[in-house]
Structure 1
Amino acid sequence: MGRKITGGEVIKRFLVDEGVKYVFGVPGDQLYPLLDAFYNDDKIKFITFHHEAAAAHAADGYARVTGKPGVVIATVGPGAANLVGGVYPAYAEGIPMIIITAQNQSWRSYPDHGSMQALDQINLFKPITKWNAYIAHWSRIVELLETAFRKALTGRPGPVHLDVAVDVLYQTGDEDEVKLYSPESYRAVNGPAGNPADIDAAAKLLAKAKLPLIHLGGGVLRSDATNEALELIDYLKAIVTTSVGGRGSVSEDYPSLLLPGLPGALAAQSEADVVLIAGSRLADLDFWGKPPAWGEWPNQKTIHIDITGDDIGLNRHVDVGIIGDLKVVLKQLLEALKKYTPPRKDYPEALARYKQMEQEYLRQMEDLSYSDSVPIHPLRVIRETREFFPKDAIAIIDGGNTTVWTIYLHRVHVPRTIFSTASGDSGHLGSGISFAIAAKLAHPDKQVYCISGDGAFGFHVMEIETAVRLGLQVTCIVLNDKAWGMIKAGQTLYYGKRYVGVDFSDIRYDLIAEALGGHGEYVTEPKDFKDALARSVESGKTSVINVITDGNAIPPHFEILAGIWLEGVEMPS
């Protein structure tokens, strides 16, 4: 007989065996046995946040930057309910996350009979998780944790949820009965290959293409398929575009890459004779894969690769649909392509025209970025920030208009070094600080910075204390236009400046940072910004640079985005 160990200790041991280094969350009474299991364990650390949603965002961010599941825990009732805002973006964007919530005693729950903080957490999380389960006995902890990791990482990744009765966390069992196995024994670690006939059909289409285009989505990053994508692009000398969520899958200084949503990319996408869609569902920010942003199907041949097949043909019909893991399928496709065509030596002639269209558009943005106007133009801040930090620094972008501005002048050179919270399928704001904390924990050797709108920054501003407490040096740059800028832009353009609910007072985010133990900078003049950046990094502390920006500056793409989101709605003239 071995010694007796609690359910909390079993969970901790399983997570350690899975290679989990950090567990994010907010403590609660029901979690005591699990929290105690983390005590003085140098293999795993619990990171406490001020709000459960912020902790869930950190787990999400950790998964995005590492490719490994993030883990978040919360206590029963309000703790679990607070997680929802941080779990939903991970579900919408295919991010693997393990959510563990404490539940009231098994003899008091499902159905509840009047317990304080009672909540049906299984049904609460069901719409925003791939799978969830209730652990009602100590003997099932390992089995259901194995299932959770398998579900989170198989097919399209996503969050999964385990609801654990508090008596199970406290319950003890024989240590010798806890059998932990290597992950390879309970889940597949390699993704599925594509059907050979589909691979061959796609290769034939690409070999005949005169103007092939490869469109990379976030699935390329989830599958760690950036090298495979580059090899295929280079072999074909194909034009390449990305979804906004797929940025960084190929360096944005790559010769044939065109930036998402700009005139060059849109022209290329509409004129290509064969398009390969890799890991993208072609949602609204990809203009649904429909004309005029894309060519008319079937005149424009379409190949679509998806890990489950759920998104193949969702918004655009296809000539060849391939179900499989991108890392495997892109390699298969390149090998098949070699049977039908030698490597191409030159890019299509049309590429020069597309590049010129892009450059002419960006020149307008660059001109604005050198403005000495006061309040400061957001593009000046974006350009100087990108110039200041090294190419491999990790950038977190948080906010509506902020995200749009960064597309213009914030280039991405290394995979998994940009995370834009408002540009994915959820469009969720407020996760910037949490993402920055997670990124720095995962990569302490890299510089990490967050460019955030003031509205988004205010969601979880207290997490500056979390970063300070952890001794992390992250730089937060707040584009402070004293408003919900994107919504105010809509009221400016469509409602005659009848502003309702969009204006803030003059908030000194820099002083908040100082009060929380960090470094603060207040910038009102363009000439002072780069010096403020330098002082912030040199401080060695978590820092907040509060930059007063021009609230009248509206991104040129705003009306396009409004037209997408409000399609079919009659806007006021």
Structure 2
Amino acid sequence: GRPRGMEFIMTRHESAAASMADAYCRVTGRVGVCCGTVGPGALNLAAGVAAAHNDGIPMVVITPQVHSNRCYPFKGSQQQLDQLGFFKPITKWNALVHCWERIPEMVQWAFRVATTGRPGPVHLDICVDTLFQVKEEEGVKLPNPERYRPLNPPAGDEGALEGAVELLVKAERPLIHAGGGVLRSGAWEEVRELAEYLQAPVTTSVSSRGVLPEDHPLLLLPKGAGAIYAESTADVVLCVGCTMAELEYWGKPPLWGDPAAQKFIQVDIDPEIIGLNREVDVAVVGDARLVLRKILEKVKEVTGPSPERITNTQYRQAEKDALAFVEEAARSDAKPIHPARLVREAVEFFGREAIVAVDGGNMGLWAVNGVRVYRPRSFLWSTDMGMLGTGLPFALGAKLAYPDRPVYVLHGDGAFMLNNHELETAVRYNLPVVDIIGNDRAWGMIKGAQHTAFGDRYIGVDFGDTRYDEMARAMGAFGVRVEDPADIRPALEEAVGSGKPAVIDAVIDCQVNLEPPLFQTYLEVALMDCDLSGCNP
């Protein structure tokens, strides 16, 4: 028969398909593609597409539409829906395709828009009668990408580059803050070289972890005490590929310096992002990798390498002091299992080459604080959307891209249940990821928020004691329940040794899980400007 070309991966739910395409793009840098069926199936894609849109992940989303002479406006067709209108706010661009001749053109335009400027998802809605038209391939022209979309992004205005260099070489406490645009551009080596030359500490957004190995002496862990100390006291900040949104506290004091005293250089491929949340002193519109190369060249022309700065030692000490309680918790032998111990066991077992997908609320915060990332594009989390249920689909997308690398998930039982059916997908395609569940039998983050506001009065947050290990075995995967921290490592060894997709159902301390690291900080930001006087702790 005819060659099929690309491999088609069938999921059990369209939302998972979108998240798998998202993760494939995050770990490879290549555009992800997903599709769903008409009407309800298209709606099911939406959550995953919206998460990719918020994080700037290029994706081509394809949906079928009812017959071209019966589609929106309403004609009473079964499963008829204004899919263009529905996807419009969560994509960069979308279009309805009425005739087969335009499919190549529309696909080319879709990839062009998805990858140009700030990346993001695009959507093609194709009428079903168009899909069933049979035509000869000879009449279809398929030009190379360089013939229909720009492959050389802008590298920054010379005047702006000079202004950035002038501030950086004069700075006493420079800081480089690297966002997701650094990973999308592949600019991690440029960040390292510039940081080492200037002896500037590097902080990252949560989504861009792995820009530098997290044991590099200049890297400060995101949202940690060392990072906040550096971000609030730097006299010059070079912000690269970051929107400075809510998780960055919009670039405002007290987590960042006073704009009157702290100079801010912002580099972004999208001019609409610059100055969006924090006023800038120098704006550089361009690709992160190309701009950083130019800045480094110009810095070297006017100054030699900086000696180590005493402030860097102070930042690292602040980070170490603040993490002392997490380090102690990670050695806990308590039963039920301490979430920090569960995370530490996984990190040490899987090692530096692993890809980790973090998902969920409070268990996700324990993971964010306990995980260490050593390679770019190896940490997966739905950052800006905060979407639950992405963990397992993210892991499957990553495993499809890198079958020889270890891939594991860290999340809570609530998040696991939102896409647990994709274990069958993992079994069917022989994708041996390890799914580690911190089982507190609750919506941990919501319960923690209720605990903060109302003491021990809870509503709508507690689950029954479900055996997720048995569920995994029923789908053909490996499954084991762990209740003693001494059994975590043997369970991990057995899971990997099985050669199957695996679930480790670890029973964690539900009281400890009510307040993970940074929980109160996130809660304060989320409830900012809310009147809490009616709460009764």
- Pair in the same fold by TM > 0.5: yes
What corresponds to 1:349 in structure 2?
Answer: 310
Task: Tell me the residue number matched to 1:48.
Answer: 10
Looking at structure 1, the residues matched to 156 and 121 of structure 2 have their Cα atoms a distance apart, in angstroms, of 25
> 368, 376, 394: which one pairs with 2:337?
376
**Could you say which residue in structure 2 is the equivalent of 1:19?**
none
Opposite residue 366 of structure 1, the aligned amino acid is E
Alignment of 1:183-198 (within 5 A): 183-198=145-160
Distance in 2, matches of 1:92 and 1:111, equals 29
SS for the counterpart of 1:512 is helix
Matched letter for residue 29 of structure 2:
G
1:116-265 correspondence to structure 2 within 5 Å: 116-265=78-227
1:193 and 1:452 mapped to 2: Cα distance? 39
CA distance in 1, matches of 2:322, 2:260: 30
Which position in structure 2 is the counterpart of 1:526? 485
1:505 correspondence with 2:467? no
User: After the TM superposition, which residues 427-446 of structure 1 pair with which residues of structure 2 at under 5 Å, given as runs?
Assistant: 427-446=386-405
1-structure distance, mates of 2:354, 2:368: 17
Counterpart selection for 2:510 from 537, 545, 551 = 551
* Mapping 1:404-553, distance limit 5 Å: 404-421=365-382, 424-553=383-512
Please, which runs of 5 or more residues in structure 2 have no aligned partner? none
Please report how far the alpha carbon of residue 391 of structure 1 lies from its aligned counterpart in structure 2 after TM superposition. 0.3
Q: Which runs of 5+ in 1 are unaligned?
A: 1-38
Look up the SS of the partner of 1:110 in the other structure.
coil
Structure 1's consecutive aligned runs of 4 or more residues displaced over 6 angstroms after TM superposition are none
Structure 1 residue 120 displacement after superposition: 0.7
Counterpart AA for 2:21: A
Give the match for residue 388 of structure 1.
349
Within the alignment, does 1:568 sit opposite 2:516 as a pair? no
Partner of 1:367: 328
Aligned counterparts of 2:272 and 2:386: Cα–Cα separation in 1: 21
Identity %, equivalent residues = 49
User: Which deviates more, 193-202 or 279-288?
Assistant: 279-288
How many angstroms apart in 1 are the aligned matches of 2:137 and 2:374? 48
Which amino acid letter does the alignment assign opposite residue 530 of structure 1? R
- Aligned-partner Cα distance in 1 for 2:472–2:217: 41
- Name the structure 2 match of 1:25: none
The residue matched to 2:9 in structure 1 has which SS?
A: strand
Give the Å deviation of 1:110.
3.1
Determine if contact 2:408/2:436 at 8 Å carries over to the other structure: yes
Aligned counterparts, 1:196-345, within 5 A: 196-344=158-306
Is residue 256–residue 347 contact of structure 1 (8 Å, CA) maintained in 2? no
Query: How much has 1:198 moved relative to structure 2?
Result: 0.2
1:173 counterpart SS class: coil
Counterpart CA distance in 2 for 1:41 and 1:525 is 51
Q: Contact conserved, 1:248 with 1:414, CA < 8 A, in 2?
A: yes
Q: Is 1:66 aligned to residue 8 of structure 2?
A: no
Residue 43 of structure 2: which of 77, 81, 89 is its match?
Answer: 81
Question: Partners of 1:40 and 1:428 in 2: how far apart?
Answer: 40
Q: Secondary structure at the match of 1:522?
A: strand
User: Aligned letter for 2:409?
Assistant: C
Deviation at 1:43, TM superposition (A): 3.4
Q: For residues 468-521 of structure 1, what are the alpha-carbon distances to aligned partners after superposition, in whole Å with 9 as ceiling and x for unaligned?
A: 000111100000000000000011121122111101100111111100000001
Deviation at 1:40, TM superposition (A): 6.6
Aligned residue for 2:53?
A: 91
Which of 397, 418, 425 lines up with 2:358 in the alignment? 397
CA distance, structure 1, for counterparts of residue 363 and residue 178 of structure 2: 23
Tell me the amino acid that sits aligned with residue 446 of structure 1: R
Instruction: Give distance in 2, aligned partners of 1:269 and 1:44.
Output: 45
- Residues 96-115 of structure 1 correspond to what in structure 2 (within 5 A)? 96-115=58-77
Kept in 2, the 8 Å contact 1:397–1:418? The answer is: yes
Secondary structure at the counterpart of residue 134 of structure 1: strand
CA distance in 1, matches of 2:303, 2:196: 13
Code of the residue aligned with 2:350 in structure 1: it is F
Paired with 1:448 and 1:123, the residues of 2 have a C-alpha distance of 37
1:403: Cα distance to partner?
2.2
8 Å contact kept, 2:369–2:517:
no
Deviations, residues 372-419 of structure 1 (Å, cap 9, x unaligned): 111100000011110001201111111111221123221110001111
Task: Quote the Cα distance in structure 2 between the aligned partners of 1:379 and 1:471.
Answer: 30
Question: Partner amino acid for 1:224?
Answer: G
CA distance in 1, matches of 2:509, 2:189: 40
How far apart are the structure 1 equivalents of 2:361 and 2:55?
17
- The amino acid across from 1:436 in the alignment is A
Shift of 1:41: 3.4
Deviation of 1:42 after TM superposition, in Å, equals: 5.5
Paired with 1:472 and 1:259, the residues of 2 have a C-alpha distance of 31
SS in 2 for 1:172: coil
Distance 1:298 1:169 in 2: 59
**2: CA distance between counterparts of 1:286 and 1:534?**
37
SS at match of 1:352: helix
TM-score, length basis structure 1: 0.91
Aligned residue number for residue 14 of structure 1: none
CA contact (8 A) 2:269 2:285 kept: yes
1:57/1:434 contact within 8 Å kept = yes
Q: What is the identity, as a one-letter code, of the residue corresponding to 1:208?
A: K
CA distance in 1, matches of 2:66, 2:217: 58
Which amino acid in 2 is paired with 1:507? T
Partners of 2:254 and 2:2 in 1: CA distance: 59
Q: Contact between 1:478 and 1:544, CA under 8 Å: does it hold in 2? A: yes
Say whether the 8 Å CA contact 1:204–1:340 is kept in structure 2.
no
Contact 1:213/1:274, CA 8 A, preserved across alignment: yes
CA distance in 2, matches of 1:137, 1:405: 51
CA contact (8 A) 1:404 1:557 kept: yes
The 1-side partners of 2:503 and 2:151 are apart by: 40
Q: Which amino acid aligns with 1:41?
A: P
